């Protein structure tokens, strides 16, 4: 009883740059809430409304989630829910839903259930007749695809591949001819092995991009052939979370330096440096910044 009174008494607000906002009340149900993948400024207003108004926030790591909640001045009751939580935690959340309360489910980063726990909870909540509401937002997959310059009309998300080399190679061979860009999560200590196996199983000429530390200070997009990337990362010390994207089989290779210069020179005949770089970036998917510097040199020459 005292717990329920305390829950009702807590402030259901959040702060944005020092200004307080009241969170609208939530209907009972399970709310699957996407949270930032790095930059905490990427959280959505709807996510803040939900986290502030929920009766309980179920999260992978309470320490990680509390950093987000503290950033926005949210007072919330949090509980751990991850792949090692066991059936008791699962039953408690279903019991909370059965009481007619609102539960927010979050992962450490990004959209829950994408290589994160929660699939069974969502399935059983639906089976029990509870409302399940997606609160969309940040996703490492979408962020990587949007800025890497590889084909995005079709992609296959593979999550984390097996850690054992034999199983990883077998999985790569199974999907070698899938006509879609492959999206793979990998840890920094295994990226070299993954790139080497991918170059062998998929072909060293396949274009790929190592997308690292997305939305964070040291965000990088390293695009090249699988063979070149495997050589580059073979002995490198790598830090940060990684999404590896691999172009579909038969996808066009990027233009050579000579071809890039020819396209820029042609564009510079009728446009300024910035506009020429933007036009060639649109055609090739290459970095606008790099093309701008290249166009400046051509213009100066």
Nearest to 260 by CA among 294, 214, 299: 294
Nearest to 226 by CA among 204, 258, 249: 204
For the chain, the straight-line distance linking the first and the last C-alpha, in angstroms and rounded, comes to 78
Distance CA 136, CA 21 (A): 20
Residue with tokens 């809430």: 33
* Paired tokens of 117: 């726990």
105 phi, psi to nearest 5 deg: -105, 125
Distance CA 185, CA 161 (A): 8
What is the residue-level pLDDT of the chain in tens, covering all 301 positions? 444 444 555 789 999 999 999 999 999 999 999 999 999 999 999 999 999 999 999 999 999 999 999 999 999 999 999 877 778 888 999 999 999 999 999 999 999 988 777 899 999 999 999 999 999 999 999 999 999 989 999 999 999 999 999 999 999 999 999 999 999 999 999 999 999 999 999 999 999 999 999 999 999 999 999 999 999 999 889 999 999 999 999 876 667 778 788 888 888 888 888 888 888 877 676 778 888 888 888 887 6
What is the structure's pLDDT at 202?
Answer: 96
* Paired tokens of 14: 């959040």
Q: 73, 48 in Cβ contact below 8 A? A: no
| Residue 248: CB atoms within 10 Å | 19
State the pTM of this model.
Answer: 0.81
What is the structure's pLDDT at 250?
Answer: 83
Q: 241, 116 in Cβ contact below 8 A? A: no
| Residue 22: CB atoms within 10 Å | 12
What is the structure's pLDDT at 7?
Answer: 53
Residue with tokens 């986290």: 51
What is the structure's pLDDT at 5?
Answer: 47
Distance CA 54, CA 196 (A): 45
CA distances from 33 to 48, 78, 84, 104 (A): 9, 14, 20, 6
Q: Cα–chain-centroid distance for residue 121?
A: 21
- The torsion angle over the Cα atoms of residues 13, 97, 46 and 36, rounded to 10 degrees, is 100
User: How is 47-112 classified by DSSP, letter by letter?
Assistant: HHHHHHH-SEEEES-HHHHHHHHHHTT----EEE-STTS-HHHHHHHHHHHHTT-EEEEE-SSBST
Distance CA 31, CA 131 (A): 8
Q: 47, 135 in Cβ contact below 8 A? A: yes
Distance CA 225, CA 203 (A): 9
């Amino acid at each position: 009883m005292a717990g329920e009174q305390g829950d009702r008494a807590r402030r259901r607000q959040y702060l944005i740059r020092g200004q307080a906002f009241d969170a609208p009340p939530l209907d009972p149900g399970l709310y699957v809430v996407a949270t930032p993948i790095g930059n905490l400024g990427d959280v959505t207003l709807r996510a803040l409304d939900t986290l502030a108004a929920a009766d309980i926030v179920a999260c992978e790591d309470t320490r990680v989630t509390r950093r987000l909640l503290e950033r926005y001045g949210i007072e919330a009751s949090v509980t751990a829910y991850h792949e090692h939580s066991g059936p008791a935690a699962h039953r408690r959340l279903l019991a909370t839903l059965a009481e007619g309360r609102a539960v927010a489910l979050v992962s450490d980063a990004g959209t829950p259930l994408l290589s994160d726990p929660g699939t069974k909870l969502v399935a059983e909540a639906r089976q029990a007749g509870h409302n399940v509401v997606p609160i969309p937002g940040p996703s490492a997959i979408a962020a990587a695809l949007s800025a890497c310059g590889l084909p995005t009309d079709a992609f296959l998300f593979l999550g984390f591949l097996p850690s054992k080399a034999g199983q990883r190679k077998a999985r790569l061979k199974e999907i070698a001819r899938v006509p879609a860009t492959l999206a793979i999560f990998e840890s920094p200590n295994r990226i070299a092995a993954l790139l080497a196996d991918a170059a062998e199983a998929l072909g060293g000429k396949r274009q790929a991009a190592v997308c690292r530390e997305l939305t964070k200070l040291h965000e990088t997009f390293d695009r090249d052939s699988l063979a070149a990337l495997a050589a580059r990362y073979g002995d490198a010390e790598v830090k940060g979370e990684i999404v590896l994207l691999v172009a579909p089989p038969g996808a066009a290779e990027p233009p050579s330096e000579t071809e890039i210069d020819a396209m820029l020179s042609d564009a510079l005949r009728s446009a300024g440096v910035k506009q020429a770089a933007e036009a060639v970036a649109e055609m090739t998917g290459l970095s606008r910044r790099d093309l701008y510097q290249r166009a400046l040199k051509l213009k100066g020459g």
